[in-house]
Amino acid sequence: MRPEVRLTVLTGAGVSAASGVPTFRGPQGLWKNYPPEQLATADAFRRDPRLVWEWYNWRRELVAKCEPNAAHRVLAAWSARYHGFKLITQNVDGLHERAGTRSVIRFHGSIWEVLCWSRCAAAPARWRDETVPFPNIPPSCPHCGGLIRPGVVWFGEGIDPVVLEQSFEATECDLFLVIGTSAVVYPAAGLASQAARRGAITVEINPEITPATSSADLSIQGRAEEVLQELERLIQEGSALRP
């Protein structure tokens, strides 16, 4: 591909699976038999902030031990090589950034950011806190002493309008890759269609068939880390499809 190609990538949990991060859905994503939908909500936090923070503390400890895998590394290399590269991730683990990826749009926020639950005037809108593990559960706001919450988008909450706008702008591209996501959660699931309407070639990379498979220009079934390494090899040899 030419360095000037406008390449946008949408990633989901499948990209981080090889790093040991459990997928958000399915049996491996369960914690103490709680499905995520019962924990990742404002109502759940309101009812039992300790329980919710015990789950997030466990996830932070787990992710802190994980390393970026080959998929993250290939995407980081592409972000440096292709001037029009944009990456939209549904993942909150921060592994893309740790791999050195540039131009990351965090669609669902970050597990490494927190904000004051009561939105106290003394606290910034959100801030980074990499404490692992928290000495006290639930952790408190250093500005007002109240509760803090994870800086992620919970079920029932809307996507940050700025992030949504950045994501829609990123669909103005030549090539749109959808990697490791089930393509069932909107509005992220609609981004590939938006890119296609704008004239982009759309490619899906996933081990399984998804609801987006039939609408993609090309569907490649395989693990993200394996497929991306092979694509990078073909690009280096000059035999990958263009633009």
Residue 6: predicted pLDDT: 96
Cα separation, 91 vs 22, in Å, equals: 11
Q: What is the DSSP letter of 38?
A: G
Q: What is the mean pLDDT of residues 55-79?
A: 96
The whole-angstrom separation of Cα 224 and Cα 41 is: 29
Cα–Cα distances (Å) from 96 to 52, 68, 218, in that order, read 25, 7, 24
Identify which of 132, 141, 102, 227 has the alpha carbon closest to the alpha carbon of residue 177: 227
Of 189, 186, 193, 219, the residue nearest 204 (C-alpha): 219
Checking if the pLDDT of 233 tops 70, the result is yes
Predicted confidence (pLDDT) per residue in 98-111, tens digit: 999 998 999 999 99
Residue 41 has pLDDT above 70, yes or no: yes
Query: What are the backbone angles phi and psi of residue 75, rounded to the nearest 5°?
Result: -65, -35
Contact between 68 and 98 under an 8 Å Cβ cutoff? The reply is yes
Contact 22, 29 (CB under 8 A): yes
pLDDT of 58 > 70? The answer is yes
Q: In Å, what is the CA distance from 141 to each residue of 74, 127, 129, 153?
A: 37, 11, 11, 19
**Model pLDDT, residue 185:** 77
Four-way CATH pick for 7-237: 3.40.50.1220, 3.60.15.10, 3.40.50.300, 2.60.40.10 = 3.40.50.1220
In the prediction, which pLDDT does 28 show? Answer: 54
DSSP per-residue codes, 114-174: EEETT--TTS-S-EE---SS-SSSS-B-TTTSSBEEEEEPPBTPPPPHHHHHHHHHHTSSS
Give dist(CA 162, CA 134) in Å, integer.
30
Average pLDDT over every residue of 6-14: 96
Mean pLDDT score of the chain = 92
Give the pLDDT of residue 186.
82
- Taking the C-alpha atoms of residue 215 and residue 193, their distance in angstroms, rounded to an integer, is 8
pLDDT tens digit sequence for 166-177: 999 999 999 999
| Predicted local confidence at residue 29, as pLDDT | 55
- Angle of helix 224-237 versus helix 70-81 axis, rounded to 10: 40
**Averaged pLDDT for residues 137-163:** 96
Q: What is the pLDDT of residues 20-39, one digit of tens each?
A: 997 655 555 556 667 778 89
Q: What is the pLDDT of residues 186-227, one digit of tens each?
A: 888 899 999 999 999 999 999 999 988 999 999 999 999 999
Catalytic residues: 108
